[in-house]
Amino acid sequence: MGLVLSLPSSEVIAVTTLAALSLLGIKLWQQRSYEKLLPPGPKKIPIFGNLFQVSALRPYPQFRKWAQEYGPVYHLKFGSQDIVVLNTPEAADELFVNRSKIFSSRIAPHVAHDIMSEGQRMAFLPYNDEFKARSLRLADPLTSLQPSIGPLPSRQLRPMQELESRVALYDLMNHGDKSITLYHTAGPNGEVPEHHWFSLIRRFTTSLVLTLMYGTRVHKIENTPRLHKLYRVLANMTSVAQPGNYLADGFPILRKLPDFLAPWRVQARAMHEWEIELLGGFLEDLKAEMKAGRQRVECYASKYLKARAEAGYEDAPGSGLTPDGQWMKDKFVAYTAGTIVEAGSDTTASTAHTFILMMLSYPHVLEKLRAEIDRVVGPDRLPTFDDEPNLPYLVACIKETLRRRPAAILGVPHANDEDVWYNGYLIPKGSNVFGNIWAIHMDPKLFPNPTAFIPERWLSPDGKSTSWGDGFDGERDQWVFGWGRRLCPGSYIAEASFLILLSRIIWGLDFSAPKDPKTGRDILPDLADEETFSEGFISIPRIFGVEWRPRSEKHAQIIRNEFEDAQAHWSNLNLPGDER
């Protein structure tokens, strides 16, 4: 017979309680010791961490306050998700650039990526084989878009930027005062009315990325439901993907709930159907035209489909990669090209909107800029890309706009594939690591008087040159396009768009804010008020009125002639002409 311990029941309870308390004590001690290894940060509450201390849709003001309190790096917890925030260029360069092998992944937002995008949205892809297959194919010299940071391939788009900017200039000129005489209100989700001047600049940026990806253009704004849907898809994505917006992102355990207890899943699936109708529609149209033998301008998607067909995958429906892991199937192609269309449209357009707001808010800057452009270009022709070396103040004004109000205000967080030690702190594997662009751009040690708009801060001491400063490591002096291997692949395209569009606007058009009939003062959004800008991880200006007119009849005539000439080019390129 075995030994049977027979303790009185009160003793059993005492021993069990003691054991449980000791275990809990050890666990808490381990937890405390572990927490001491992490970067400093605000106090966390059990289970939820810091989730309720920050606005899910407008986190950047609080992220900046914490940067001022905790210094170069701090740690947060959103549910079970570790969040690490880097607040100096040195910290971000060290992890995202010098240790890019480890810090180039993403923690995909579960609801936005896994469900709504069926795991196919490129900007959220982890640094895995799918990402690399996508990148390698994009890097193929046959395709139009170079994947990372090379300035040269983006030049292929310049002829289109040159032509499309003529159309934008003509549109703004003819738009006249519609933005102020018609009373415009944004839609319930911030939708921009099609008659508003914001739409005219968006048409320019969207048309460019559509040409690049699908070989077609946006030749009209009215009655283009697809165009309007594109912006709704984009706005929806930026709010669904915002970290902290869905509990299921921070608490993986909730993902096991059945549908009837997980309304977000049902919603996100419906959003997927709604998105793919648009993104897949672009691809299906192109395929149909290719099958019918109709030629579009060479573009990324047509080259990709041709190359894929030659490799034996003419039809490859579905998500993910082909069985050999080499080629994207249709949904993946649609999301890849679609991501570039969405990533390249509103970020660039909204920065141009912000630029106009800055010019109206700082008239002495506008005066100085116009004097530079008039001196270099004169009244007889439009500015061109060749003028860039002689327009340092323009480049400085664009950079100051990007600094003062970066569109992707907290960037897109990276994730680390291993535990990492930095400055004596542990950054746990799988953290969501933010480069706090907003705190860096607003740091008075780097940018004295940071809320003021001072283009001169970017000029060389003799005032004669400005570099874009977004190249490789050491040269960088602004961080609006992110870091390392995930650095924005469209940065050179965006800069060229700003250069050609904004130089032409300043050259050819006068613009002013509407006046308050009572006070006679300009009605302009307040730059100090966060509500001037939208919520979501792309934070962009809400619509505001501007009156547009040509600077002189001579300027107007040149703008009309250049627009007419562009129509001939569209026809030669087999692209639709502008309908107004």
The HSE-up count of residue 353 (CA atoms within 13 Å, CB side) is 32
Instruction: Give the C-alpha separation, 1 to 492, whole Å.
Output: 83
299 is in an annotated binding site: no
CA distances from 299 to 120, 121, 138, 182, 216 (A): 21, 20, 11, 38, 9
Residue choice 239, 242, 245, 347 for contact with ligand HEM (CB under 6 A): 347
Handedness of CA 296, 298, 300, 302 (dihedral sign): positive
Nearest residue to 65 via CA among 77, 83, 57, 53: 53
Q: Is residue 123 close enough to count as binding ligand HEM by CB under 6 A? A: yes
SS3 content of the chain, % helix, strand, coil (to 5): 55, 5, 40
Residue choice 168, 409, 415, 480 for contact with ligand HEM (CB under 6 A): 480
Nearer to ligand HEM, 72 or 411 (CB): 411
Q: Which residue is nearest to ligand HEM (CB)?
A: 490
Of 169-177, 183-191, 446-454, 474-482, the window that binds ligand HEM (rule: CB under 6 A) is 474-482
Q: Considering the complex, what minimum distance in angstroms separates the CB of residue 414 from ligand HEM?
A: 6
Q: Considering the complex, what minimum distance in angstroms separates the CB of residue 436 from ligand HEM?
A: 12
Q: Is residue 72 close enough to count as binding ligand HEM by CB under 6 A? A: no
Q: Is residue 95 close enough to count as binding ligand HEM by CB under 6 A? A: no
Q: Is residue 343 close enough to count as binding ligand HEM by CB under 6 A? A: yes
Q: Is residue 395 close enough to count as binding ligand HEM by CB under 6 A? A: no
Q: Is residue 348 close enough to count as binding ligand HEM by CB under 6 A? A: yes
Q: To the nearest 10°, report the CA torsion of 93, 97, 99, 100.
A: 140
β-bridge partners, 74 = 85
Q: Residues 216 to 275: which contact ligand HEM by CB under 6 A?
A: none
Q: Is residue 408 close enough to count as binding ligand HEM by CB under 6 A? A: yes
Instruction: Reduce the DSSP state of residue 363 to 3 states and report it.
Output: helix
φ, ψ (nearest 5 deg) of residue 276: -70, -25
Residue choice 209, 234, 442, 506 for contact with ligand HEM (CB under 6 A): 209
Q: Is residue 102 close enough to count as binding ligand HEM by CB under 6 A? A: no
Residue choice 244, 338, 411, 550 for contact with ligand HEM (CB under 6 A): 411
Nearer to ligand HEM, 301 or 340 (CB): 340
- Structure tokens that stand for 356 in this block: 């106009």
Q: Is residue 344 close enough to count as binding ligand HEM by CB under 6 A? A: yes
CA distances from 197 to 83, 127, 193, 567 (A): 39, 39, 9, 21
Q: Concatenated DSSP letters for 11-33? A: HHHHHHHHHHHHHHHHHHHHHHH
Q: Considering the complex, what minimum distance in angstroms separates the CB of residue 333 from ligand HEM?
A: 14
Q: Considering the complex, what minimum distance in angstroms separates the CB of residue 157 from ligand HEM?
A: 8
- Structure tokens that stand for 60 in this block: 């950047």
Nearer to ligand HEM, 164 or 562 (CB): 164
Residue choice 482, 536, 545, 550 for contact with ligand HEM (CB under 6 A): 482
End-to-end CA distance of the chain: 99
Nearer to ligand HEM, 276 or 494 (CB): 494
Nearer to ligand HEM, 50 or 104 (CB): 104
CA distances from 502 to 152, 169, 350, 387, 495 (A): 21, 9, 13, 13, 10
Of 177-185, 388-396, 407-415, 509-517, the window that binds ligand HEM (rule: CB under 6 A) is 407-415
Nearer to ligand HEM, 260 or 472 (CB): 472
Q: Is residue 488 close enough to count as binding ligand HEM by CB under 6 A? A: yes
Residue in this structure with the two tokens 């709010």, named with its chain if needed: 239
Instruction: Reduce the DSSP state of residue 549 to 3 states and report it.
Output: strand
Residues whose CB falls within 8 Å of the CB of residue 318, separated by 6 or more in sequence, listed in order: 329, 330, 331
Q: Cα angle vertex 539, ends 277, 416, to 5°?
A: 80
Residues whose CB falls within 8 Å of the CB of residue 401, separated by 6 or more in sequence, listed in order: 351, 354, 355, 358, 453
Residue choice 453, 483, 544, 563 for contact with ligand HEM (CB under 6 A): 483
Q: Considering the complex, what minimum distance in angstroms separates the CB of residue 17 from ligand HEM?
A: 50
Of 163-171, 226-234, 250-258, 486-494, the window that binds ligand HEM (rule: CB under 6 A) is 486-494
Residues flagged as binding site for heme: 488
Binding site for ligand HEM (CB under 6 A): 122-123, 209, 339-340, 343-344, 347-348, 351, 406-408, 411-412, 414, 480-483, 486-490, 493-494
